[in-house]
């Protein structure tokens, strides 16, 4: 890569790069991806090893502080997070105010911004202790906000967090109430959700992370920056794809048409239809996360005794696409989102909660990237150029 960051800006020397496909916006020491080889590493550790041998909180610590925690560091980190799970009681008015039909992603980003109003005195990004406490607040409270967005949408009572429970167990209980006791007894599900959160925890300069960095570059605090990141994640080409995959599978099922017919429609680009959960800006071989999720889907569905016809449909769709020249030539493979929805559905989450689950997973990455940018002396306010193609000067005739 050519580093042009030290050059002073010269008019007439602007590169046009739609979607920033060739432009690095920053240096970063957090996540490494080799899209051709299908490699993803957090702070140097391969994703496969982290998914198999660590927990989400350990990975969050690794991403944010740069090293895996010792047992004592992890215990202290976990205890701090548990201590901060309660939301300000007045947040109930926020939830009362939103309609139950609201999309949980909108409730989540709005709720996070609302939450920041209770901590206004600690939002000064120049004070390191404030950055530390807000890091913990975000990790502790975002899952609670997410669970309440879910409860609101189905008209059920909110539960207070139970801090003797671990991160994932607590979250499942907040979502499923007493039914979740069955989760406490079912380590397969707790482990599966923990693993999914690890797989989503960071992915270098994707659209939502770039948003967090861009908003942060203006000096905005972590709550505002991450609330913006949640909005960026909500789009169907990004995090919203996990919801869109399930909608697509349900549509194929309900239409009565064959999977092959649907694939042909995608290839003709009819009505702009895409195969949701397929393709990736960076991975042009395979998405290493997708492989792990696929195995997880088999295990979770078997454990729950769920025989979901949508899983069979997903497998058939994947098989047909992988053997089709259209997808081969364009190097389109399943991405992390192709199978996550099937798992979340089996766990009992409504489709509209899927991207919210992605947001909880991505939170440590957003925090780590926001903090890295804050500590980097080279960070400048993000301000892309444009090539103006509009009218030349006109005169207002009256």
Which C-beta is closer to ligand ACO: that of 276 or that of 347? 276
**Extended beta strands in 206-357, E state:** none
Q: Which residue has the tokens 């199978």?
A: 339
Distances (CA, A) of 213 to 49, 205, 377: 28, 9, 14
User: Which part of the chain contacts ligand ACO (CB under 6 A), choosing from 41-49, 101-109, 215-223, 276-284?
Assistant: 276-284
275 binds ligand ACO (CB under 6 A): yes
Contact between 356 and 146 (Cβ < 8 Å): yes
**Smaller CB separation from ligand ACO, 94 or 327:** 327
Three state DSSP letters for 171-220: HHHHHHHHHHHHHHCCHHHHHHHHHHHHHHCCCCCCHHHHHHHHHHCCCC
Catalytic choice (194, 202, 287, 337): 337
* Residue 282: CB minimum distance to ligand ACO, A: 8
Minimum distance from residue 203 beta carbon to ligand ACO (Å): 7
Rule CB under 6 A: say whether 266 interacts with ligand ACO: yes
The DSSP element (H or E) to which 301 belongs, if any, is helix 288-304
Give the β-pairing of 39-42 and 31-34: antiparallel
| Three-state DSSP state, 388 | coil
Q: Tell whether residue 318 is a contact of ligand ACO (CB under 6 A).
A: no
Q: Which is nearer to ligand ACO, 169 or 204 (CB)?
A: 204
Residue 167 touching ligand ACO (CB under 6 A): no
| Binding of residue 280 to ligand ACO (CB under 6 A) | yes
Question: How far is it, in rounded angstroms, from Cα 84 to Cα 53?
Answer: 27
Q: Is 335 in the site for ligand ACO (CB under 6 A)?
A: yes
Q: Give min distance, CB of 336 to ligand ACO, in A.
A: 5
User: Which residue of the chain is nearest ligand ACO when measured via CB?
Assistant: 279
Taking the C-alpha atoms of residue 196 and residue 359, their distance in angstroms, rounded to an integer, is: 11
For residue 94, give the nearest of 85, 79, 75, 107 by alpha carbon.
107
> Considering beta carbons, is residue 118 or 326 the nearer one to ligand ACO?
326
For the question of residue 337 being annotated catalytic, the response is: yes
Binding segment for ligand ACO (CB under 6 A), chosen from 212-220, 246-254, 270-278, 304-312, is: 270-278
C-alpha closest to that of 140 among 372, 374, 367, 370: 367
- With a CB cutoff of 8 Å and minimum separation 6, the contacts of 283 are 33, 35, 38, 333, 335
Q: Is 95 in the site for ligand ACO (CB under 6 A)?
A: no
Q: Which is nearer to ligand ACO, 114 or 321 (CB)?
A: 321
Q: Which range of residues in 3-11, 98-106, 209-217, 330-338 is near ligand ACO by CB under 6 A?
A: 330-338
Of 84, 202, 280, 287, the active-site residue reads 280
CB of 7 to ligand ACO, least distance (A): 28
CB of residue 85 vs ligand ACO: minimum separation in angstroms? 27
Binding test (CB under 6 A) with ligand ACO, winner from 281, 315, 351, 382: 281
Least CB distance to ligand ACO at residue 248 (A) = 10
Q: In terms of CB distance, is 115 or 212 closer to ligand ACO?
A: 212
Q: How far is the CB of 41 from ligand ACO (least distance, A)?
A: 17
What is the C-alpha to C-alpha distance for residues 120 and 373, in angstroms, rounded to an integer? 21
Counting runs of H as helices and runs of E as strands, what totals does the chain give? 18, 3
Interface with ligand ACO, residue 265, by CB under 6 A: no
Instruction: Tell me how crowded residue 322 is: count the other CB atoms within 10 A of its CB.
Output: 14
Q: Give the contact letters, 223-242, x = binds to ligand ACO (CB under 6 A), - = no.
A: --------------xxx-x-
- Report yes or no: 148 and 159 within 8 Å, Cβ to Cβ: no
Structure tokens at 97: 């105010």
If one asks whether residue 279 binds ligand ACO (CB under 6 A), the answer comes out as yes
User: At how many degrees (to 10) do helices 71-83 and 128-154 cross?
Assistant: 60
Question: Which strands sit side by side in the sheet containing 39-42, from one edge to the other?
Answer: 31-34, 39-42, 45-46
Which residues are marked as active site?
A: 280, 337
Contact positions toward ligand ACO, by CB under 6 A? 19, 237-239, 241, 266, 274-281, 330, 332, 335-337
């Amino acid at each position: 890569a050519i580093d042009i960051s030290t050059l002073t800006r010269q008019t007439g020397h602007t590169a046009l790069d739609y979607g920033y496909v060739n432009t690095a916006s920053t240096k970063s020491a957090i996540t490494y991806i080799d899209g051709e080889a299908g490699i993803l590493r957090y702070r140097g550790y391969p994703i496969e090893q982290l998914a198999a041998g660590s927990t989400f909180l350990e990975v969050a610590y690794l991403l944010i502080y740069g090293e895996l925690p010792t047992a004592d560091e992890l215990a202290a980190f976990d205890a701090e997070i548990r201590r901060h799970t309660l939301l300000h009681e007045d947040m109930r008015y926020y939830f009362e105010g939103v309609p139950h039909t609201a999309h949980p992603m909108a409730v989540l980003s709005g709720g996070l911004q609302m939450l920041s109003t209770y901590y206004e005195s600690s939002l000064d990004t120049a004070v390191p202790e404030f950055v530390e406490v807000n890091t913990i607040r975000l990790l502790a409270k975002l899952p609670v906000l997410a669970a309440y967005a879910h409860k609101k949408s189905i008209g059920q009572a909110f539960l207070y967090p139970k801090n003797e429970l671990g991160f994932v167990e607590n979250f499942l209980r907040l979502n499923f109430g007493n039914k979740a006791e069955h989760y406490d007894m079912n380590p397969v599900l707790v482990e599966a959700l923990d693993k999914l959160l690890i797989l989503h925890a960071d992915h270098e300069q994707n659209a939502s992370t770039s948003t967090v960095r861009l908003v942060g570059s203006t000096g905005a605090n972590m709550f505002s920056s991450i609330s913006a990141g949640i909005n960026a994640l909500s789009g169907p080409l990004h995090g919203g794809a996990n919801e869109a995959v399930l909608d697509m599978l349900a549509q194929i099922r309900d239409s009565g048409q064959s999977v092959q017919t649907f694939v042909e429609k995608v290839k003709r680009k009819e009505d702009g239809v895409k195969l949701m959960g397929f393709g990736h800006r960076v991975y042009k071989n395979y998405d290493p996360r997708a492989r792990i999720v696929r195995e997880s889907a088999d295990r979770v569905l078997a454990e729950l005794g769920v025989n979901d016809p949508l899983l069979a449909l997903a497998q058939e769709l994947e098989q047909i696409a992988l053997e089709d020249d259209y997808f081969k030539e364009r190097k389109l493979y399943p991405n992390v989102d192709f199978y996550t929805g099937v798992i979340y559905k089996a766990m009992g989450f409504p489709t509209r909660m899927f991207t919210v689950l992605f947001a909880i997973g991505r939170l440590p990455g957003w925090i780590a990237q926001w903090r890295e940018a804050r500590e980097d002396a080279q960070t400048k306010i993000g301000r892309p150029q444009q090539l103006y193609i509009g009218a030349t000067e006109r005169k207002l005739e009256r």
